[in-house]
Amino acid sequence: MTKLILTVDDSASMRMLLKASLTAQGFRIEGAEDGAEGLERMHEVKPDLLITDINMPKMDGFELIEAVRDVPEFRGTPILVLSTEFSDDKKARARSAGATGWITKPFDAAKLGAAIRRVCP
Amino acid sequence: MSAAGDDGLDEIQGIFFEECAEGLAVAEQGLSAMAGGQVSADVIAGVFRAVHSIKGGSGAFGHMALLAFSHRFENVLDEVRGGAIPPDAAVTGIMLGAFDILSDHVAAAQSGGTPPADAAMLEQLDKLLANKGAAAEPAPAPAEPAPADEFGFAPVAVDLDILDDPFGFEPVAISLDDLAGEPAGGWTVRFGPSRDAMANGGEPILVIRELERMGGHILDADLSALPPLRDLDPEESYCVWTIGLPATIDEADIRECFDFVAPDSLIDIRRQETAPVAAPPKPEPAPEIAPLPAPALRVVETAEPAPPEARPADAPQQTIRVDLSKLDQLLNLIGELVIQGSILSDRLAPADQERVELPQLARLTRQIQDNVMSLRAQPIRQAFSRVPRMLRDLMAATGKQVVLETIGETTEVDKGVLEKIGDPLTHMIRNAVDHGIETPEERLAAGKPAEGTIRLSAEQKGARIIVRVADDGRGIDRARVRAKAIEKGIVSPDAVLSDEEIDNLICAPGFSTAETISNISGRGVGMDVVRSNVEALGGRVEIHSVPGEGTSFTMALPLTLAILDGMIVRLADQRFVLPLSNVVETVQPVAGQVKRVSPGSEVIELRGAYLPMRRASDLFAIAEHQRRAPEESVVIIVESGVSGLVGLMIDTIENRREVVIKSLEDNLYPIRGLGGATILGDGSIALILDIDALIVSPGFNKFAPKGMAA
Which amino acid appears at position B283 of this protein? P
Closest to B43 in 3D by CA, of B84, B94, B89, B77: B77
- Interface membership of B305 toward A (CB under 8 Å): no
Looking at residues B648-671, what average pLDDT do you find? Answer: 80
Quickly list DSSP for B172-227: -B---S--SSPPTTSEEEEEE--TTTTGGG--HHHHHHHHHHTT-EEEEEE-TTPP
Closest to B431 in 3D by CA, of B459, B480, B394, B483: B394
Instruction: Using pLDDT thresholds of 50, 70 and 90, give the confidence band for residue B8.
Output: low
**pLDDT in the model for residue B317:** 52
Pairing of strands B563-571, B594-598: unpaired
Cα Rg, chain B, nearest whole Å: 36
Per residue in B382-401, pLDDT (tens digit) is 888 878 888 888 888 888 88
Per residue in B194-248, pLDDT (tens digit) is 877 787 778 888 888 888 888 888 888 888 888 877 778 877 788 888 888 888 8
Average pLDDT over chain B reads: 75
- Interface membership of A80 toward B (CB under 8 Å): yes
CB contact under 8 A, B153 and A77: no
**pLDDT in the model for residue B273:** 63
Q: Helix B41-60 vs helix A12-23: angle between axes, to the nearest 10 degrees?
A: 30
Contacts of B209 in chain A (CB under 8 A): 121
**pLDDT in the model for residue B38:** 79
Measure CB to CB from residue B1 to each of A20, A93, A106 and give the nearest one. A106
* 3-state SS assignment for residue A100: coil
Nearest residue on chain A to B46, judged by CA atoms? A57
- The DSSP element (H or E) to which B358 belongs, if any, is helix B357-376
Quickly list DSSP for B137-154: PPPSSSSPPP---SS-S-
The more confident residue out of A80 and B353 is: A80
- Interface membership of B60 toward A (CB under 8 Å): yes
For residue B45, how many other CB atoms are within 10 A of its CB? Answer: 24
Domain A4-107 superfamily per CATH: Response regulator (3.40.50.2300)
Pairing of strands B540-546, B563-571: unpaired
Contacts of B314 in chain A (CB under 8 A): 57
CB contact under 8 A, A63 and B311: no
* E strand map for B17-73: none
A50 pLDDT above the threshold of 90: yes
Cα Rg, chain A, nearest whole Å: 13
**pLDDT in the model for residue B318:** 63
Closest to B450 in 3D by CA, of B435, B442, B438, B440: B440
Looking at residues B179-200, what average pLDDT do you find? Answer: 72
Contacts of B316 in chain A (CB under 8 A): 34, 57-58
Looking at residues B485-511, what average pLDDT do you find? Answer: 79
Disruptive mutation site among A6, A54, A95, A119 for chain B (greatest number of B CBs within 10 Å): A95
Instruction: Using pLDDT thresholds of 50, 70 and 90, give the confidence band for residue B470.
Output: very high
Nearest residue on chain B to A86, judged by CA atoms? B156
A56 pLDDT above the threshold of 60: yes
Looking at residues B99-108, what average pLDDT do you find? Answer: 90
Q: Are B251 and B190 in contact (CB under 8 A)?
A: no
Quickly list DSSP for B362-425: HHHHHHHHHHHHHHHEEETHHHHTHHHHHHHHHHHHH---EEEEEE-TT-EEEHHHHHHHHHHH
Question: CA B651, CA B286: separation in Å to the nearest integer?
Answer: 95
Which amino acid appears at position B134 of this protein? A
Closest to B572 in 3D by CA, of B610, B616, B533: B616
CB contact under 8 A, A88 and B167: yes
**pLDDT in the model for residue A4:** 92
Contacts of B74 in chain A (CB under 8 A): 84
Looking at residues B66-91, what average pLDDT do you find? Answer: 86
| Number of inter-chain CB pairs under 8 A, A vs B | 182
Nearest residue on chain A to B16, judged by CA atoms? A13
CB contact under 8 A, A11 and B4: no
Cis peptide before A106 (omega within 30 of 0): yes
- Interface membership of A37 toward B (CB under 8 Å): no
Q: Are A8 and A31 in contact (CB under 8 A)?
A: yes
- Interface membership of B207 toward A (CB under 8 Å): yes
B287 pLDDT above the threshold of 70: no
Average pLDDT over chain A reads: 87
Q: What is the DSSP letter of A71?
A: S
To the nearest whole Å, the CA of B47 is away from the closest chain A CA by 12
Question: CA A76, CA A72: separation in Å to the nearest integer?
Answer: 8
Per residue in B35-73, pLDDT (tens digit) is 887 788 888 888 888 888 888 788 778 888 888 898 889
Contacts of A78 in chain B (CB under 8 A): 200-203, 260
The more confident residue out of B679 and B522 is: B679
Question: CA B84, CA B75: separation in Å to the nearest integer?
Answer: 11
* 3-state SS assignment for residue B615: strand
Instruction: Using pLDDT thresholds of 50, 70 and 90, give the confidence band for residue A8.
Output: very high
**pLDDT in the model for residue B300:** 33
Measure CB to CB from residue B56 to each of A99, A105, A118 and give the nearest one. A105
- Interface membership of B97 toward A (CB under 8 Å): no
CB contact under 8 A, A100 and B200: yes
Q: Are A20 and B12 in contact (CB under 8 A)?
A: yes
CB contact under 8 A, B15 and A89: no
B 118-177 → A contacts, CB under 8 A: 147, 150-156, 165-169
Instruction: Using pLDDT thresholds of 50, 70 and 90, give the confidence band for residue B301.
Output: very low
Q: Is the ipTM of this complex over 0.85?
A: no
- The DSSP element (H or E) to which B558 belongs, if any, is strand B550-558
- Interface membership of B81 toward A (CB under 8 Å): no
Question: CA B425, CA B553: separation in Å to the nearest integer?
Answer: 10
- Interface membership of A71 toward B (CB under 8 Å): no
- Interface membership of A17 toward B (CB under 8 Å): yes
B709 pLDDT above the threshold of 70: no
Question: CA A69, CA A63: separation in Å to the nearest integer?
Answer: 10
B 308-347 → A contacts, CB under 8 A: 308-309, 311, 314, 316, 321
To the nearest whole Å, the CA of A112 is away from the closest chain B CA by 8
**pLDDT in the model for residue B455:** 92
Question: Which residues contact residue B1 at a Cβ distance below 8 angstroms, ignoring those fewer than 6 apart?
Answer: A106, A108, B60, B62, B150, B152
The more confident residue out of B312 and B552 is: B552
Contacts of A14 in chain B (CB under 8 A): 16, 56-57, 60
- Interface membership of B580 toward A (CB under 8 Å): no
Closest to B556 in 3D by CA, of B395, B685, B675: B675
Helix locations, B83-156, DSSP H: 89-111, 119-130
CB contact under 8 A, B304 and A89: yes
Question: Which residues contact residue A78 at a Cβ distance below 8 angstroms, ignoring those fewer than 6 apart?
Answer: A48, A49, A50, A100, A101, A119, A120, B200, B201, B202, B203, B260
Question: Which residues contact residue B376 at a Cβ distance below 8 angstroms, ignoring those fewer than 6 apart?
Answer: B324, B327, B331, B414, B415, B416, B560
- Which of B250-264, B334-348, B602-616, B650-664 tops mean pLDDT? B602-616
Distances in whole angstroms, Cα of residue B45 to Cα of each of B42, B318, B394: 5, 21, 29
Per residue in B604-648, pLDDT (tens digit) is 988 888 888 988 888 888 888 888 888 889 999 987 655 668 899
- Interface membership of B303 toward A (CB under 8 Å): no
- Farthest-apart Cα atoms in chain A, separation: 36
Looking at residues B369-378, what average pLDDT do you find? Answer: 81
Looking at residues B670-681, what average pLDDT do you find? Answer: 79
**pLDDT in the model for residue B312:** 42
Question: CA B69, CA B73: separation in Å to the nearest integer?
Answer: 6
Distances in whole angstroms, Cα of residue B44 to Cα of each of B32, B35, B48, B99, B136: 11, 12, 6, 13, 18
Question: CA B88, CA B133: separation in Å to the nearest integer?
Answer: 12
Nearest residue on chain A to B301, judged by CA atoms? A93
Looking at residues A99-118, what average pLDDT do you find? Answer: 83
Which amino acid appears at position B379 of this protein? P
For residue B152, how many other CB atoms are within 10 A of its CB? Answer: 23
Question: CA B100, CA B397: separation in Å to the nearest integer?
Answer: 15
- Interface membership of B252 toward A (CB under 8 Å): no
Nearest residue on chain B to A76, judged by CA atoms? B201
Which amino acid appears at position B228 of this protein? P
In the β-sheet with B609-615, what is the strand arrangement from edge to edge? B583-587, B634-640, B644-650, B609-615, B601-606, B594-598
Domain ranges of chain A: 4-107
Instruction: Using pLDDT thresholds of 50, 70 and 90, give the confidence band for residue A7.
Output: very high
To the nearest whole Å, the CA of A3 is away from the closest chain B CA by 15
To the nearest whole Å, the CA of B67 is away from the closest chain A CA by 9
Closest to B581 in 3D by CA, of B554, B603, B560: B560
Number of alpha helices (DSSP H) and beta strands (DSSP E) in chain A: 5, 5
Quickly list DSSP for B465-525: EEEEEEE-S----HHHHHHHHHHTTSS-TT----HHHHHHHTTSTT----SS--SSS-SS-
Instruction: Using pLDDT thresholds of 50, 70 and 90, give the confidence band for residue B145.
Output: very low
Question: Which residues contact residue B250 at a Cβ distance below 8 angstroms, ignoring those fewer than 6 apart?
Answer: none
Give the dihedral sign, CA B698/B703/B706/B709: negative
CB contact under 8 A, A91 and B169: yes
Disruptive mutation site among B211, B253, B309 for chain A (greatest number of A CBs within 10 Å): B309
* 3-state SS assignment for residue B33: helix
- Interface membership of A28 toward B (CB under 8 Å): no
CB contact under 8 A, A13 and B16: yes
**pLDDT in the model for residue B558:** 75
Q: What is the DSSP letter of B312?
A: G
Disruptive mutation site among B49, B144, B167 for chain A (greatest number of A CBs within 10 Å): B167
How far out from the chain centre does Cα B317 lie?
18
Percent of residues, chain B, with pLDDT higher than 70: 78
Q: Are B455 and B470 in contact (CB under 8 A)?
A: yes
**pLDDT in the model for residue A47:** 93
Per residue in B504-561, pLDDT (tens digit) is 888 776 676 544 444 444 444 567 777 777 776 767 788 888 988 899 998 888 776 6
Q: Are B642 and B650 in contact (CB under 8 A)?
A: no
Question: CA B577, CA B328: separation in Å to the nearest integer?
Answer: 23
Measure CB to CB from residue A12 to each of B67, B297, B321 and give the nearest one. B321
- Farthest-apart Cα atoms in chain B, separation: 121
A70 pLDDT above the threshold of 80: yes
Q: What is the DSSP letter of B697?
A: -
B311 pLDDT above the threshold of 60: no
